[in-house]
Amino acid sequence: MRTQVGIIGAGPAGLLLSHLLHLAGIESVVLEARDRPYVEGRIRAGVLEQGTVDVLNQTGLGERMNREGLLHHGTTLRFRGRNHHIDFVDLTGKAVMVYGQHEVVKDIIAQRLKDGGNIQFEAADVSVHDVDGERPFILWRDKNGSPHKLDCDFIAGCDGFHGICRPAIPASIQQVYERVYPFGWLGILAKSKPVQEELIYNNHARGFALFSMRSPEITRLYLQCDPDEDIANWPDDRIWEELHKRLEGEDNLRLPEGPIFQKGVTPMRSFVAGPMRHGRLFLAGDAAHIVPPTGAKGMNLAVADVRYLSRALESFFRKNDSDRLAGYSDICMRRIWKAQRFSWWMTSLLHKFDERSAFENEVQLAELDYVVSSRAAMTSLAENYVGLPFEEQA
């Protein structure tokens, strides 16, 4: 097999990159270890920045999102038992879209297959070779065990944190930054009436809680917990009891209950690995960076990565200009570190840290009080939440 760009991973990064390349007339093949039902059913949160929404709309992927997604014009910070609304549109003129990551994946897969795209599901024993030369290639086996070789001009590693592409970059040239937080999120999906139409980020002495929604009938709720918490210790009654304690308060907010049909515990970490390029291998999405979900930046950073990468590859194939490819890692890193800063700040602002002193806890509440009483502070939060403007490459 021969293609221009070999893409490893059929998550949002790999699939969107394949679609963007197709629109630019560049061939690609996507290799994915899992089968299609698994990929499309892999539930992930989905708060889409304005820039991400624009990319999906501009590339013909936004029809179902615009029909079924939930447009949020703001969000709520809640502390000391009271709500404080942050109006994104008033502060920035922008909004966010709540639309599940797995729904985005479904939309892109459907479009790629409609366009004749080559997605090889259940690809096993994938390995990359000669990435520092001019003729890189990928070895893999199909679902029947037959071996294949994919020759390509470039390889895009969109295969996530546990993938094989990042380890293919020599450790001697790679800088890794990581912070593991001393807590996780216990998340549930429930068939219950939403308490309001926008997210509630809640600071509480018992720990952080988050109210979100997937539809007018489905709510998504989170509780701060130990990172190694056994979900078996959390029957439904205990979860609802704890959510009531953390989210309800003196302002008469009441949380409706309903059947819980999914629950699990997600550890929290910040991670960055760079550079995101070695020879003709480029990393994108979770293969290069992970953010805690507090700032809702994960998929949005992946979209920004492949937007930059697709344009750099287009410059190379159309004009034989490699300058954008050379600058790919640097331009991505500037956005990644701004997103890491915001996610770290939101996490620090809203969560309970056992090692903090009583003084530090009061400072945390004072900062929350400052944020919701200062238009400048609210604007800073809103600008970062709805998404900073894309930096255009020279």
Question: So which residues are the catalytic ones?
Answer: 72, 201, 293, 297, 385
Residues 281 and 166 in one domain: yes
Domain count, the chain: 2
Residues 163 and 206 in one domain: no
Residues 251 and 340 in one domain: no
pTM, 2 dp:
0.95
Residues 190 and 304 in one domain: no
φ, ψ of residue 360 in degrees (nearest 5)? -65, -35
Per-position DSSP letters for 219-272, written without gaps between them: EEEEEEE-TT--GGG--HHHHHHHHHHHH--TT--------EEEEEEEEEEEEE
How much is the pLDDT for 394?
62
- For the cut 80, the answer to whether the pLDDT of residue 43 exceeds it is no
Backbone dihedral region for residue 228 (phi beyond 0: left; psi -120 to 50: alpha; all else: beta): alpha
- For the cut 70, the answer to whether the pLDDT of residue 205 exceeds it is yes
Q: What is the pLDDT of residues 25-39, one digit of tens each?
A: 999 999 999 999 999
Reported confidence tier of residue 250, pLDDT bands at 50, 70, 90: confident
Residues 136 and 285 in one domain: yes
Residues 14 and 122 in one domain: yes
Reported confidence tier of residue 47, pLDDT bands at 50, 70, 90: very high
Residues 290 and 170 in one domain: yes
Per-position DSSP letters for 339-374, written without gaps between them: HHHHHHHHHHHHS--TT--HHHHHHHHHHHHHHHH-
Reported confidence tier of residue 215, pLDDT bands at 50, 70, 90: confident
| Cβ-based neighbours of 237, under 8 Å, separated by 6 or more | none
Residues 115 and 41 in one domain: yes
Residues 107 and 123 in one domain: yes
For residue 258, give the CATH number of its domain: 3.30.9.10
Residues 264 and 227 in one domain: yes
Q: What is the pLDDT of residues 251-274, one digit of tens each?
A: 888 899 999 999 999 999 999 999
Q: What is the pLDDT of residues 229-240, one digit of tens each?
A: 999 999 999 999
Q: Rounded CA gap, 17 and 158, in Å?
A: 9
Residues 185 and 166 in one domain: no
Which residue range is the domain that position 170 belongs to?
Answer: 5-46+100-174+275-354
The reply to whether 373 falls in a domain is no
